[in-house]
Structure 1
Amino acid sequence: MSIGKFLVKRLLQGVLVIWGVITIMFALRAVSPGDPANLIVGPAADPEIRDQVREQYGLNEPIYVQYVDYVQGMVTGDFGYSFQSSREVTTMVLERVPATLELAIAATIIAVVIAVPLGVISASRRNEPADYGATLFSLLGISTPNFWLGLMLILLFAVFLQDPMETYLGFSFPQGRRTVGFGEAVITLVTTGYAGDLLTWVRHITLPAITLGTYFTAMITRLTRSGMIDEFGKPYVTATEAKGIPYVLIRYKHVLRNTMIPIITVLGLQLGTLIGGAVITETVFNWPGLGDRLIQALNARDWPLMQGIIVFIALGFVLINIAVDALYATLDPRVTNE
C-alpha cells in the first residue's frame, strides 16, 4: 500500500472517530435531565419566554432534526452560542487553545529532557543503583495522580518555600492565575528587549508543566530503557564492539538512534493525550486553557460550550495521530502494509 492510500485510510478512520464523538455528545445532551431553556433564562421565567428560547435554539424540533442541524453546524465550524454568555462557542474555544498548547508542549519538553537521559543511564547501568533509582522514579511517576502532585507542588514551592526562595534565589513560583501568555511575552521581548514578561511566564508554567509531564516522563523513561536494552542485545552492537568502536559512540550514535523511532511515535500520540488530559492540571493551577473552560461549562451545564471543547480536543487528537502515522510511515515504510 502506498503512503498516500495509507494516509487516506487513516483520514477516513479519523472522520469516523470525530463523527462518533459528535454523536455521543449529542446523545448525552438529549438524555440529560433538565430543560436547556431553563439554563438560559432561569426556571422562574415566563413560559412564553422559554418557548421563544426553545424556538430560537431549535429545541422544539424533533430529535432527529436537532441531530441533523447539530452535525451540519459541526461540519461547517458553527458550534453555536454559549448558553451562559451568548458568545460564539468557536471564539470561546479558540481563545483558550494557545494556553493549553503552551502547557502541553512545555510538559513534553520537560518529559523528553528528563526521560531520555534517565532511560539511557538506566539501560547502560542495568541492575546497578542508577537503574534501580530510575525504575523507582518511573513507578512513582506512573502511580502518582497529577491532581495530588499539583497540590503538593503548590503547597511546597508556592506556599511553604515562597519566602526562602524570594530571599535566597530572588524569585518564587506564583499561586495565582498567569498574567501574560507566551506569545505576548515573546512579542514584548522582541519589540522592547524586556525579558520580564517571559520570565514571569516561565515561573507560572513551571509547576503545571512538571505536574502534567510527570506521568509522561516516567513512561518515556521506561520506553527508552526497554528499547535500548533490546538494541544492546542485537548482533550489530556486538559487531561494532568487535571493530573497536568506543562504547559511548555505540550507545548514542547507534543504539539510542534506533530506539528513537518508537519514542517519536509515542511523543506524538502523547501530545494529543496531554492536550485532552490537561483538564485537571489546568483546574488545579487555574491555568486559562481549554480544561479550565470545560470545567466552567460543566458547572454551568453549558452544553454548546462543552460540546465544542470536547469535539475540538478530539479533532486535535485525531490530527496529531494522523501526523504521527505519516511520520512513522516515512521512517518505516513497512507500517503501510499493516
Structure 2
Amino acid sequence: MSDTSIDEGRDFAPLFRFIKGTALTIGSILVTMLGLLFITFIIGRVMPVDPVIAIVGERATPELYQETYEMLGLDKPLLVQFWYYLSDVARLDFGISYLNARPVAEDIKRVFPATLELATLGVLAGILIGVPLGVAAAVNRGSWIDQIARFVALVGYSMPIFWLGLMGLMIFYGQLRWVGGPGRLDIFYEDIVPTRTGMILVDSLIAGDMTVFWNAVSHIILPALLLGYYSLAYISRMTRSFMLEQLSSEYILTARVKGLPEHIVIWRHAFRNIRVQLITVIALSYAGLLEGSVLTEIIFSWPGIGSYITTALLSADMNAVLGGTVVVGFCFILLNVTSDLLYKVLDPRAK
C-alpha cells in the first residue's frame, strides 16, 4: 500500500469516527425510546381500567361495547396493537382523553410549558446558589461555611416539599403578602396576553405587557425557589464532593507550590476538571424537576404536566397518563444526550 493511500485513510479517520459515533448515539436513543414505549404500552394493558367502559360508560349496550372494542383495535394481537401504538406516537397522537374528550397531545402542549418554565427557573436557582456554595464548602472544609452548606443540603433532602410549600404560602403569601398566591396569574390578568410559547413570562415580555409580567413573577417566584432549594441541596452536595476530590489531587498541590493565586487554583484548575461531572448532575436535577414537581404544582395550583398526570391517574384516564409519561421520558433522554454532547465539547479526551 502506498504512502498516499495511508495518508488518505488517516484523513478520513475522523470522519469515520464521527459517523460511527453519531450512528451509535441515534441507535441508543431509538432503542431507549422503543423500550420506554414498550413499557408504557404494557402498563396501559395491565392496568385494571377498561378503556371501552371509560369511553362508552357502564350502561352501554353489548353491541356498542363490542363496536368500540374493535374500533380501538383491542381485538387484534398484542404485537399488532403495539405497532398501532408506535405509529400513533410517531405522529404525536396519544389518543383522546377520557376525561375531557380532547386530544391528549393538545392537553400536553397546553400544560407542559408551565412545568418547563417552573423547572427551568428552579434549576437556575439551584445552579447559581448551589455551585458556589459547594465550592466554598470544599475550599473551607470543616469551617463554619462547610457546616452551613452541609446543613442546608441536609434540610433540603429531609424536609417534605409539600410541607415547605404550605409553610411558604402561609408565611410569604398569607401573612406577609410578599408573593402572589396559587396559580400562574391573578384572575384579572388571565387571557390578556396572547399565547405564543405557553410560558407566561416569555409571552408577557413578547407582548410588552410588564404588568402581567410582574404579576406572573410574583406567582412563580415562591414555587420556583422551592424547587430551586430542592435542586440546590443536590447540586451543592455533589459539587462539594467533586471539589474535595480534585483539591486533594497532586496537580493542585503542584500548582500551589508554584505560587499560583488561590482563585486560579480553585476555578481554573480544580473547578475546570469537575465541569463534566456537574453537567450530568445538573441534567439529572433538571429532569427530576420536570418529572417530580407534582406536589409543588398541586400545592400552588400550577397547571403543569405533573398535576395533569396526577389528575388523569386519579380519573383512570390512561391515555393522558401514558401520553404524559412518554413526554417526560423523552425529556430524560433528551437531557442525557445533551449532557453527553457537552461532555465531548468540554473534555478533549472524549473527542
User: TM-score normalised by the shorter chain: which range applies?
Assistant: 0.7 to 0.9
1:129 match: 144
Q: Partners of 2:322 and 2:204 in 1: how far apart?
A: 35
Normalized against structure 2, the TM-score is what? Answer: 0.84
Q: Indicate yes or no: 2:215 matched with 1:206.
A: no
> Which of residues 296, 319, 323 in structure 2 aligns to 1:281?
296
- Helix, strand or coil: the match of 2:96? coil
Deviation string, structure 1 residues 186-212 (Cα, Å, up to 9, x no partner) = 4444544x4222222222112222222
State whether residues 185 and 195 of structure 1, in contact with CA within 8 Å, keep that contact through their aligned partners in structure 2. Answer: no
Deviation at 1:230, TM superposition (A): 2.1
Deviates more, 1:174-183 or 1:110-119: 174-183
Q: Partners of 1:90 and 1:175 in 2: how far apart?
A: 26
Deviation at 1:93, TM superposition (A): 1.2
1:48 match: 63
Deviation string, structure 1 residues 32-81 (Cα, Å, up to 9, x no partner) = 22422221232123333333332332234344432221122122322222
Q: Partners of 1:84 and 1:190 in 2: how far apart?
A: 33
Question: Structure 1: 5+ residue runs without aligned partners?
Answer: none
Identity among equivalent positions (%) equals 34
Q: Partners of 1:275 and 1:19 in 2: how far apart?
A: 21
Deviation string, structure 1 residues 73-117 (Cα, Å, up to 9, x no partner) = 122322222222222221111222211111111111110111112
1:27 match: 42
Deviation at 1:287, TM superposition (A): 1.0
Deviation at 1:335, TM superposition (A): 4.5
Deviation at 1:314, TM superposition (A): 0.8
Deviation string, structure 1 residues 241-274 (Cα, Å, up to 9, x no partner) = 3343322333233322333221122212322222
Q: Does the C-alpha gap of structure 1 residues 244 and 5 become closer, same or farther in structure 2, counting only changes over 3 Å?
A: same
Q: Indicate yes or no: 2:68 matched with 1:61.
A: no
- Give the counterpart letter for 1:261 in structure 2: V
1:174 match: 181
| Superposed CA RMSD | 2.4
Q: Partners of 2:19 and 2:171 in 1: how far apart?
A: 52
Q: Partners of 2:23 and 2:107 in 1: how far apart?
A: 31
Deviates more, 1:7-16 or 1:302-311: 7-16
Deviation at 1:184, TM superposition (A): 4.3
Q: Does the C-alpha gap of structure 1 residues 131 and 197 become closer, same or farther in structure 2, counting only changes over 3 Å?
A: same
User: 1:1-338 maps to which residues of 2 (within 5 A)?
Assistant: 2-159=17-174, 161=175, 165-166=176-177, 171-179=178-186, 183-192=199-208, 194-335=209-350
Deviation at 1:183, TM superposition (A): 4.1
Q: Partners of 1:113 and 1:232 in 2: how far apart?
A: 21
Q: Partners of 2:315 and 2:66 in 1: how far apart?
A: 21
- Give the counterpart letter for 2:276 in structure 1: I
State whether residues 283 and 295 of structure 1, in contact with CA within 8 Å, keep that contact through their aligned partners in structure 2. Answer: no
Question: Structure 2: 5+ residue runs without aligned partners?
Answer: 1-15
State whether residues 269 and 324 of structure 1, in contact with CA within 8 Å, keep that contact through their aligned partners in structure 2. Answer: no
